[in-house]
Chains A and B, each alone.
Chain A
Amino acid sequence: MSTHNIEITVDGKSYKRTTESRKLLAHFLRDDLDITSLNIGCDTSQCGACTIKVNGEAVKSCTILAVQANNMTIETVASQATGFTLSIVQQAFQDKHGLQCGFCTPGMVMTTLELLKTNPSPTEDEIRESLHGNICRCTGYHNIIEAIKEAAQQSQFQGASSC
């Protein structure tokens, strides 16, 4: 099995590491870089708990090899707050009780960011469709949808790029 030197930027910090070719980005981040702001809830690329942004786009980090992400820029939910002030989306999730156990939450927030970037005022159906790749077993999605509606409204109010 080949090993590879990779360089990767995560939440603004760059890392150089050697990785086995078969290592998934999700495991690389969690086990090799100790970045645990993404979770692994399934092995069939469905639950979306591991969603992060790779070069600005929401991606399931369990379905990309670490070596594929060489030279890429990664953002996790850990970089969304400013200091201890939650971002608009994070705050909306708290305000609307859009999380219970919190395991799916990092992925939910990252998918929401992508949705609101491309569609700043989504309809309820559009929100529901955009979350198709993020499973939540606790909330029944009801309050997640409410949170996203709230975040959309808040970010429109505060300027599009601020969510």
Chain B
Amino acid sequence: MVPFDYIRPKTLKEACAALEEHLDDAQLLAGGHTLLPLLKMRMAATDILIDIQDLSELRRIEITEDMISIGALTRHVDLQKSVELFRDWPVIRQAAGQIADLQVRNRGTIGGSLSAADPSADWPAVALLLSAQITLQSTDGERTVKAEDYFAGMMETVRGPSEILTKITLPRNSNNMKAHYHKFRHPASGYAVASAAVGVTMSGNKIDHVRIAISGISDHAYLAEKSTKILMNEIPSQSLIEEAVQYITHDQTVMSDQFADTAYRAQLAKTMCYRALVACLADQ
């Protein structure tokens, strides 16, 4: 690793002040499972590492009558095991269980994942699916950004250099949406070559509401609006779903690498989405 200084603020206030002071010279360290591997490979460097592990206020799941609030330092394993979250959103457990491996889930955090905004990470798609609100804090105060406005590009978000992602807020599942996360794991890295986070609410025999978020395909996770439109207010059928998933990468620049080219990636997105939709409908 390229040498760096390390500081470990005790409170959110201290952390914001430290970040404000160092801005682009500093990087926040949460679970460290995105940043440390990059630093180890010398693919990233920083002057100062601000370790926010002591910010216990960011390590909690709170559920009120209409909202769920997840602290940024909540680990993948906490999300996987939370009984309360599972009652509303089983899809969170389903997604958490597919992240990397047991040891990584014991350290990695949802805030870290959403801050890194890796195009093949799992939480971005889930955050989009669940209409998450992302809270960003700086010395200037707090602001909240909708998940669909939060991701800005390849490992880029609207989070400013002085801001800390503090919590993720989700609605309660009052409409009894059935949701599923289907992922095609890269055989080496374990990241999503393509994944689909899909939720469906039915009204009688018609789809009342559907939301589809895709990861792994484009430079950041996105909502597949065109596919959604095709499904809305329709009676689900195989042909309808087949038609909808044809547009899963509509308007997207599909990524390509030595494992999967654009055509194959698009096929996986279709297939993951198709299977997630079928699973959602089967749950109704």
Contact = CB atoms under 8 A, between A and B. Distances in A.
B1 interface: yes
Interface in A6-55: 20-22, 24, 43-46, 48, 51
A151 interface: no
Contacts of B91: none
A1 interface: yes
A68 B106 contact: no
B278 interface: no
A4 interface: yes
A45 B51 contact: no
Interface in A102-125: 111, 114-115
Main SS at interface, chain A = mixed
B235 interface: no
Contact of B32 (A51, A57, A64, A132): A64
B6 A21 contact: yes
B29 interface: yes
A43 B41 contact: yes
Contacts of A21: 3-6, 49
Given A22-B1, A63-B36, A68-B51, A111 B103 contact: yes
Contacts of B51: 65, 67-68
Given A21-B49, A133-B101, A65 B32 contact: yes
A63 B1 contact: no
B37 interface: yes
A129 B2 CA distance: 34
B100 interface: yes
A60 B1 contact: no
Contacts of A22: 1-4, 39
Nearest to A50: B103
Interface in A45-100: 45-46, 48, 51, 57-60, 62-65, 67-68
A68 B53 contact: yes
A32 B17 CA distance: 33
Nearest to A1: B3
Contact of A68 (B29, B77, B190): B29
A74 B65 CA distance: 40
Nearest to B107: A59
B36 A114 contact: no
B141 to A, nearest CB: 29
Given A43-B40, A68-B51, A132-B101, A2 B106 contact: no
Contacts of B33: 45, 63
Contact of B37 (A45, A115, A130): A45
Interface in B217-251: none
Contacts of B29: 65, 68
A57 B1 contact: no
Interface string B1-15: 111111110000000
13 contacts: A22-B39, A24-B1, A45-B33, A45-B36, A45-B104, A59-B106, A60-B104, A60-B107, A63-B40, A65-B51, A68-B51, A133-B102, A133-B103
Interface of A: 1-2, 4, 20-22, 24, 43-46, 48, 51, 57-60, 62-65, 67-68, 111, 114-115, 129-130, 132-134
Interface of B: 1-8, 29, 32-33, 36-37, 39-41, 49, 51, 53, 77, 97, 100-104, 106-107, 190
Given A22-B4, A60-B103, A65-B51, 13 more contacts: A1-B5, A22-B3, A24-B40, A43-B40, A44-B37, A45-B104, A51-B103, A63-B33, A63-B36, A65-B6, A67-B6, A129-B97, A133-B104
